Amino acid sequence: MTSRTVMPGLLGELIEAAHRQTASRRAEFPLAEVENRARTAPVVRDFGAALRAPGLGVIAELKPRSPLKGPLTDDYRPAELARRYEAGGACALSVLAHTEGFGGRPEDLATVREAVDLPVMRKDFIVDEYQIAEARAYGADAVLLVVAALSEQRLAELYTYAQGQGLHILVEVHSEAEARTALALGALNIGVNHRDLRDFRIDLGLTGRLRAQVPADRVLVAESGVRSPADARRLRADGADAVLVGETLMRSADPAAAVAELKNSHAHGTTQERS
């Protein structure tokens, strides 16, 4: 087993929960069995192309709860919610498969994949190749890798393994140093998490600062703290190609309309389109 560094705080707790969940599932379904299922999974949808489409993309997230905010809905129906997001114009879907912190399950990936034609990403604290093979086996088209959750060696190993599975990869960063790590890895899709996982403060200005160091041919996704069309408009002006939105959409009485408002936000007011 690969050694790992124990991290403090909520991030450390979520990472340890991911290891526990993975160990439990591996005991039930060995990796070789999951990899065999992955080889017969539906063809990968082009997550990267979806993010590069004209205008501001909206990656709509499905999660029944948050470790910070608690339950986000008392009636979690992934397939129905996914269809509403698609109707609103989402470019892709992010599905939480982390059980302890977010109430999701890997099986939700298959439920969502079957319900829509959009690319689907496994959102999780991925710490093991098993989670990546499992994502592909359940029909995921992409996975999230969080730089803060992994050593550089493990990040590179998991990135290479995900590529081998044919998956698209969104590499999440929280700082200039982590952005450099993602770029050195060769990441094509970089997610900027505005939430500092040490003190949970939101800094929407981080996307604009990191856009300056991320080449224009790399996709930049703004994550966390996107609560309104005004926020989406600001982030588009700062150079975001897409926004990833969870809590705001989960709490919306009309998720399709909420997605449409975010997607169309850059059409109103002054925006700074990338050349």
94, 189, 193, 265: the catalytic one is: 193
C-alpha–C-alpha distance, residues 53 and 181, integer Å: 26
C-alpha–C-alpha distance, residues 97 and 123, integer Å: 6
**134 is annotated as an active-site residue:** no
**172 is annotated as an active-site residue:** yes
**61 is annotated as an active-site residue:** yes
C-alpha–C-alpha distance, residues 113 and 24, integer Å: 24
- Burial string for 193-232 (b: 16+ CB within 10 Å, else e) reads bbbebeeeeeebebbbebbeebeeebbbbbbbbbeebebb
**3 is annotated as an active-site residue:** no
For 179, phi then psi, to 5°, come to: -65, -40
86, 134, 223, 261: the catalytic one is: 223
Half-sphere exposure for 193 (CA within 13 Å, toward CB) = 20
**69 is annotated as an active-site residue:** no
61, 134, 178, 261: the catalytic one is: 61
For the record, the structure tokens of 204 come out as: 């929407």
134, 172, 178, 261: the catalytic one is: 172
63, 86, 129, 134: the catalytic one is: 63
Q: Are 236 and 266 in contact (CB under 8 A)?
A: yes
86, 94, 178, 224: the catalytic one is: 224
**224 is annotated as an active-site residue:** yes
DSSP 53: S
Nearest to 60 by CA among 92, 19, 30: 92
Q: How many residues does the chain have?
A: 275
**63 is annotated as an active-site residue:** yes
86, 94, 123, 265: the catalytic one is: 123
C-alpha–C-alpha distance, residues 178 and 184, integer Å: 10
Q: Are 218 and 187 in contact (CB under 8 A)?
A: yes
Catalytic residue list: 61, 63, 123, 172, 193, 223-224
